[in-house]
Structure formats: C-alpha cells, structure tokens
A = this chain, B = another copy of it.
Amino acid sequence: MTEAKLVINENPNKKTKPDPDNLKFGKLFTDHMFTMEYSREKGWFQPQIVPYAPVSLEPASMIFHYGQSVFEGLKAYRDENNDVLLFRPDENLKRLNRSNGRLSIPPINEELVMDYLKQLISLEKDWIPQAEGTSLYIRPFIIATEPSLSVAPSNNYTFFIILSPVGSYYPEGIHPVSIMVEEHFTRAVRGGMGTAKTGGNYSAGYNAQEYAANQGHAQVMWLDGVEKKYIEEVGSMNVFFKIDGQVITPELNDSILQGVTRKSIIQLLADWDIQVIERKISMKEVYQAYEAGTLEEAFGAGTAAVVSPIGELIWKDESMIINGRQTGELTKSLYTTLTGIQTGKIPDPFEWTVQVK
C-alpha cells in the first residue's frame, strides 16, 4: 500500500442542487467524486477528490471485455440537527474486499478508504437531501483498466466513489409488490460469484426481470441454481418470510449476497426477542404455508428499499396473495425502526450509524 495523503481538487463549477421532491434513483451526480489508482508496482495510490467528470479509457481496457469489476451501495442521511449519518459503512467496505477476493482484484485498505469516504461526504454535505425518505446514495466501485485482451486479472484498476441524491423509494408510502418466482433463469450458483457484488450477477438477471415486468410483476424471486427448489433472493434484495409466527430467511451460502440490511434485521429482531431462523426454505414449503393459511408476511431487504413488502407471489400457475396485499405489522415495524435509526430519528442502541464530521 503506497496511498499518499488525499488530494482535494475542488470543483469551481458547482451545479445547482436538484428539486428534492423530484429526485430519481442514480441519474444525477454531485460535484465531486473520489478516485484512486492501482498498479502491481505501486499498490493503491493517488487517492483524490476531483470534479465529477467523464473518464477516458482505452477501448481495450479489460473492464469492457471480461467483467472484472465490483461495487457497493450505501446511503448517507442528514438528521434533524443537520448532522450526517452513514449506516454501517464498515460492513460495505468489508464486503467490497470480499467481492475483490472473488474477482481477483487486490484488496483496499478499509480504514483509509473509510476516511476518504468521510472526507468526500463532508465536502458534498449540501447535496444530501433532507425530505422524508430521501438520501445521498453512495456508490463505490472498482474497474479493471489495463488495456489487454488476455483473459487474466488486470494489472491496473481504478477505484471510484460517486454520489447521487436519491428520492424516496416509496413516494406514495410503503406498499407491497407482486413478485414472480423465476423457474428458468439462474442468478448465481454454488461455486459462482453470487456472494460478490459484481456486474455480471446483475445483467444476468435482466432477461428474467424483463419477462416478469412484461407480466406485470415488480421483480423476480431467485431459486438456487442446483435444484431450483430453494429460495435465495428477491430482485437485488435478501428475503424474509413470517410463517406461523416464525421469521425465516434463507441461510447464507456461496450464491447469496450477504446483505447489510438482512444482518441488521436479524440483530434487530433478536433485540425484540424474535428469533430469525436461518435455514434452507423451498418454494414448496412457502406454498404449503400459503395453502395452510400460515404465510403471514414476506418482504425483501436491501439498502435501496430498506424493506419491501411482498403482496403477491406468482409460482408456476399459482398466485399467492400475502396478508391481503397489505404491509404486515412486522414488516412495517422493521421499516419504521430501521429508517428511524438510519435518519437519527430514534436512538441507535447498536451503534450502527457513523457520524460524518
């Protein structure tokens, strides 16, 4: 590691801030970004904050050919005292390094990057929207930049952090969606890249996603790649079920992404004396619970939506309506508590939030 001191090159041409009531997701970026380079000789070097601007890359750069890239996603909130809060950013940097390992990308120094991230957020503080449900979305990512067509890990990388003010995931309030269980396409399999946040896992799902959207469903539910029996994730979220009073979530394996929201929900429920059972759960079991009238709630969990209630589940020719298409009590409590902690509205007994000075 030869990281030098962070150089800040301030943008003289500041953009006007967007209308906080009309924010979309990830279309608009702030005035600055963080970048850092990697070479085999120097390690990670040249950390800097520079104006957000296009990057220039040779067409032969490996990122365009062999998909060697990883990313993260987390959010910054502004609380009522105008202080800036990050939600468990250490977890995201840890996961970034796990993703790096799976993609043969050299690890970053988590402590240093945490410091760079805080300096970037601090500089862009005014970009953090304050309206209910809005936040500043933080996207760290690493791409392979060596110009070479060899099918092998790149010798050069660039690490970026870009920031986007985003609107509420639920402009009309939290509401359940319809989810289609995907029987044909596979997101990830044992021995694959499913535990890594890497590009290929996402575009792999587009065919299925487009098909589901055409059928009028919001997202797909992914089954395991081996037996096409066990539930893995929903869209780009982890998934929870409440069946006959018990909360169940698929146990982690090497094809499920280890969500920070998932982990936080498990801890939060433990605090409420509700045990979450982490185990394999098949679609058949969910269907049987539905038939028995014990499928009480189901929801996705991830940074973007925080908690996303499932109102309908389509499996083969069956449609299962969950909790009369209403957001369940537990789902609602989790959403309120998590967003409350994230935005500093309620106390944070877990010390999950990190204040940016």
Assess whether A44 is interfacial by the CB under 8 Å rule.
Answer: no
Which residues 121-152 of A sit at the B interface, judged by CB distance below 8 A?
137, 139, 141, 143-144, 147-152
With A153-B210, A236-B151 in contact, do A29 and B60 touch (Cβ < 8 Å)? yes
Partner of A69, one of B67, B164, B198: B67
Known A-B contacts A26-B148, A150-B25, A191-B185; A67 and B67 likewise in contact (beta carbons under 8 Å): yes
- Residue A26 contacts which of B64, B139, B149 (CB distance < 8 angstroms)? B149
**Residue of chain B at shortest CB distance from A304:** B151
- Cα A137 to Cα B65 with chains together (Å): 14
Give chain B residues whose Cβ lies under 8 Å from the Cβ of A185.
Answer: 191-192
Q: Residue on B with the closest CB to A208?
A: B191
Task: Using known A-B contacts A104-B210, A200-B201, A204-B192, determine if residue A63 contacts B64 with beta carbons closer than 8 Å.
Answer: yes
A198 to B200, CA, bound (A): 8
Q: Is B58 within 8 A of A56, CB to CB?
A: no
On whether the beta carbons of A60 and B26 are closer than 8 Å, the reply is yes
Interfacial chain B residues near A52, Cβ < 8 Å: 59
Contact of A64 among B66, B143, B207 (CB under 8 A): B143
Contacting residues, chain B, for A102 (C-beta < 8 A): 207
A25–B148 CA distance with the chains assembled, in angstroms = 8
Interchain CB contact under 8 A, A65 and B139: yes
| Closest B residue to A56 using CB positions | B54
Tell me, in angstroms, the Cα distance from A191 to B65 when the chains sit together. 22
- CB <8 Å contact, B225 and A192: yes
A153-212 contacts to B, CB under 8 A, are 153, 160, 162, 164, 184-186, 189-193, 198-207, 209-210
A299 close to B (CB within 8 Å): no
Assembled-state Cα–Cα distance A144/B203 (Å): 10
